[in-house]
Each structure stands twice: as structure tokens, then as C-alpha cells.
Amino acid sequence: MKIEVNGNTIEVKKGEMLLTALKNVGISIPTLCHMEDVFPSGACRMCVVEVEGDKNLVPSCAVEVREGMKVKTHSPRVLKARKTIIELLLASHPDDCLYCERNGYCELQSLSEELGVRERRYTAKKPDYKIDNSNVSIVKDSSKCILCGRCVRVCEEIQGVSAIDFVGRGSKAVVAPAFNQGLNLSSCINCGQCVRVCPTGALTEHNNIKELISALMDPEKIVVVQHAPSVSVTIGEYFGYKEGTDVAGVLTAALRKIGFQKVFDTAFSADLTIMEEASELVHRIKNDGKIPMFTSCSPGWVKFVEQFYPEFIENISSCKSPQQMLGAVIKNYYAPKNGIDPSKIFSVSIMPCTAKKFEAERREMASSEGNPDIDLAITTRELAKMFKMFNIDFSSLEPELPDNPFGLRSSAGKLFGATGGVMEAALRTAHFMITGKEMEDLELKQVRDMSGIKEASFNIGGIELNVAVVSGLANARKMLDEIKAGKKKIHFMEVMTCPGGCIAGGGQPYGLDKKKIEHRMKSLYKIDKESEVRCSHRNESIKNLYKDFLGEPLGEKSHKLLHTKYKKRKTNY
């Protein structure tokens, strides 16, 4: 159908919300509460527009297009309404932008600039809330909350966790866990999706830049770093690169420039994870083990099972995540081989995920008592801030290769960054382990795309394997409930905590733009398609690691260093 917008006729789809229709033709409308793929609430009113025939301004997110509709998106009346909303929000908002974690990336700040707010027209008593830093991954500052509801909705509707909700009424309303307790006592799984969608500094990750800089300055420490597969196709967005551009080589050079003595690629240990995980899957299938087997590389998902579905704990693969595997190998193989005291190594990981901070501190993840395998985990966002602090100019750097032996990776390990990637990598290697032959077509399109739930069946050497790929924990709930009810017969299931996988992790750039996430996913597929080594079992460095140190997958040494176990987790919710 056709509608008129600002005097111009445009074509829109019947049944579309006006906000979506306008966005599709390149007209930008400000929002604060709106989220794609969830039912519109129309709570913030920032997206109001003027529609001919309607007495009041209408929220474009909650109004369907209709034939012949005449709309003004930026009339004086509309701009005045939006400006007033911002002024009212700022009336009780803290004036600490210079010190705020979101300074420069705050949507409230950006809208104030866009709408020309230059004076305080309204005043209100500023709330005196204590900052909640009880959670190892996430910090909550309710004084900066504008009650947009994004965090509540992503936690409940997308993640199925419901760790937070609106507490209190009227001017005393606040977003908090049950009984207004700390996040550490809630059902929070540390995924950070609330942080990624928060428009202000009300929710942020624990910033560990200070500790990292202290380590880099300590002459007694040997500071090494690993970066996750999805980081190299994301970090460039902060420095003017097109979404999805792989800057792995420049990233390695930049990390060396700020002082890291060794730079490793977590995609290497993703290959290591596949060797162990595929072996475990084959072993379970051939020996009537616990089926379905669930992947274990996403720490938010693991904690989700521990809390909500403890009856499935034995179904989780005993494999540690790639972050933890590489941490264990660095301190237990690399250090002794190079005559280094493991206690002098300060092992850092750069992750797309706030839950990795939690995972690094789990007691189950330490391969030796009192000596964690990962000393510090930082997010993609924290790394971008560090690069800017150190005045790193990406455009002036020549690409460099990461350090071996933990720099050589297959493209299968790189696929870990996207939903379906672990499944695809594992099946490539499981097929070889079962049949002794490579898959004819390595690209398993059945498990590729942004869908929240994907199911497929593969016949591998006469074994019929039913698999499922899930991202977003509300989708995981659906699958687990159906498996419990006997409605699904699944042998192997990959679960990524964040919708779309690590490319949309809680530690990735702020924002809600799904197109950026899709570009990152396409980049990982492109890397895979153009790589010479596309299977984890073909990685020569992995072969050498087993030959020189680990022995064999699921062997005594590899099981001790690369595997762990979980147990039911208690919470006060």
C-alpha cells in the first residue's frame, strides 16, 4: 500500500508497524523502549509522529500503516514533544557524564544533542540508589535508569531468565531483582544482554581495564592474551571499518603495540574443544551415554542449566570452553616448555561475552589450586576503550600473525563465533572420526542462519544423528521442555546464550541493529569458505599438541586439563 510521509509517497507492507515501515525506507525515528522482534510497548513515546486526522501524536512503534495515511515525522509539534520527554528524563538524571561508562555511547546523551537540549527546564530530586556491583560480570546503577524496560524484556522474553523486573510504583519504581536484592542473589546468568540493550549507564559490565594496565606495567609478569573468534569481525566497527570486516591481523599488531608479550587466537582452542567434544559425542553414542549431549562453550547457558534444569546437568559436555582450554594449556604446557614459572604468567582473554568474566572465576575451571587458568577476561568494548586510551591507529598498522603454537587455527574454530558454528565444526570432525573420511560438503547450511531454533538430521557412517542448534535461552527453554516431554529425539544440541551467538554477545558493541550482526556472521562464513584448513582435526598445531603433551582426546591428561563437571546451583530467587 502507499502512504505519504513528509510530503513524499512511499510504498509499505500491509500490517507493518509505522516505525518499521519508516525505517525500511531510511527514515530514522528516535526510540528508547523499542526492540525488534518483541511486541511493542509504546512506553517511552520518543517515536511519536503526527498523523493527519488524529488529534493526538501517536507512537509509531505501536500503530499499523493504513492506506492513504499522511504522516509528519519531524514537525515542530513532534520535535517539541520529543524534546520535552528528554528534558523530563534529565530532570532527575545524574550529571556525571564525564565519569559514566557509557559516555559517548549513551542514547540519552545522543538524543539530548540531536534535540538541542541545552538547559535544565525541569528539576526533580535525584534518586539516591546504591550501585550494585555484587555481580562479577555486571554493574547496576539504578540512578541512571530511565525505566525504558529494554533490560526487563530481553531478560524475560529473549533469555527466559527473568532475573530483573519493575519493583515499586510511581516515582519509586526501579528495575531490580526480586525483593530488590543484589544481582549476585538473583537468577542472573551473567549474559550481559541487558547491558547491550540498555540505552544509558544503568547497566554496564565490570570494567577491568585498570587491572589490565597494572599487569602490563608489572615487570614481574608475563602478560599473554587470547582473542575470541568473533572479536576480530567486530572490533573494527569502533575504528571506521565496515560491519563484519575481519581485522585479525591488525588486531594482533595492536595488541602487541599496547604491551602484550604473546598474542594467541582462541580459535586454536576452539579446534581443541572440537577434538574433545566430537570424541565425547562419538563415545556417548557408541557406548549408550547420556543423550542428548549439549555443548558447553557458552557459560551463561551452563549456569542456566545449573539453575533451572539441573536434571540435564549430566547432558552437558564435560569439555571446558575454548577460553578455559587455552588458559589451561598456556599455564600447564606452554609455560613449562619455555622455562616460565606459571605463576608469573598473567593470562588475559578478550571475549564478546560478559559471562566469561564469571566463567574465569569458577573454581571448576582452575587446573591447579589457587592458580586460575584465566587471570582476567575483558569484553570487546573494554578492548576498544583501551586502544583509544593508547592512541592506537588501526589504519597505520600492518597485519601480523599471532604467536605459535597457539596461533594456527582452522576455519572450523573460527565458526564458533556464530550460532550453528560449533555444531558445524563438531560434525565435520565427528564424521571423520566415525567414517575415516571427510564430509563431501563441509558447509552445513541446515544449521546456518539467524534462526533461534534449527533442527536437522545427518546420516554419518550409518548412524542417524538428530541435531538442534539454539540461540537465546527462551528458545533453549522450549527445546528442553519438549525433550523432557518426549516430544523431541535429539542426539546433539548446540546452545548459544545470546541470540545469533557470540557475534551478538553481551560484551559486543552496544545497540540493537540486527543487520550488523548478520554482517558479522557472513564474514565468518566467508573466512571459512576461503580457508585452506577447514576442519579442526586437520590443524597441524593441534596434532602436535596431542603428540607432544596431551596424548589423545579423552585421554588421562586431556581429561584432567580440558574437562570439568557441574552441579546444581542454588539461588535466592
**Catalytic residue (one of 137, 317, 349, 558):** 317
Question: Could you tell me which of 415, 424, 476, 474 has the C-alpha nearest to residue 447?
Answer: 424
Q: Please give the Cα distance from 532 to 530 (Å, whole number).
A: 7
Q: Please give the Cα distance from 307 to 188 (Å, whole number).
A: 10
Q: Please give the Cα distance from 296 to 322 (Å, whole number).
A: 10
* Rounded to 5°, angle at Cα 370 from 364 and 376: 75
**Catalytic: 306?**
no
**Catalytic: 11?**
no
Determine contact, residues 361/327, Cβ cutoff 8 Å.
no
**Catalytic: 535?**
no
What is the number of other CB atoms lying within 10 angstroms of the CB of residue 15? 10
How many Cα atoms occupy the beta-carbon half-sphere of 434 within 13 Å?
Answer: 23
Give the residue ranges of DSSP H helices in 485-539. Answer: 514-530
**Catalytic: 344?**
no
**Catalytic: 97?**
no
Q: Please give the Cα distance from 76 to 227 (Å, whole number).
A: 48
Q: Which helix (H) or strand (E) holds 262?
A: strand 262-265
- Residue 463: beta bridge partners? 460
**Catalytic residue (one of 33, 61, 502, 535):** 502
Determine contact, residues 201/381, Cβ cutoff 8 Å.
no
Q: Please give the Cα distance from 388 to 478 (Å, whole number).
A: 42
Question: Could you tell me which of 36, 61, 64 has the C-alpha nearest to residue 46?
Answer: 61
**Catalytic residue (one of 205, 306, 359, 518):** 359
**Catalytic residue (one of 297, 319, 353, 535):** 297
**Catalytic residue (one of 205, 277, 382, 424):** 277
**Catalytic residue (one of 11, 64, 113, 364):** 364
**Catalytic: 317?**
yes
Q: Which residues are catalytic?
A: 277, 280, 297, 317, 356, 359, 364, 502
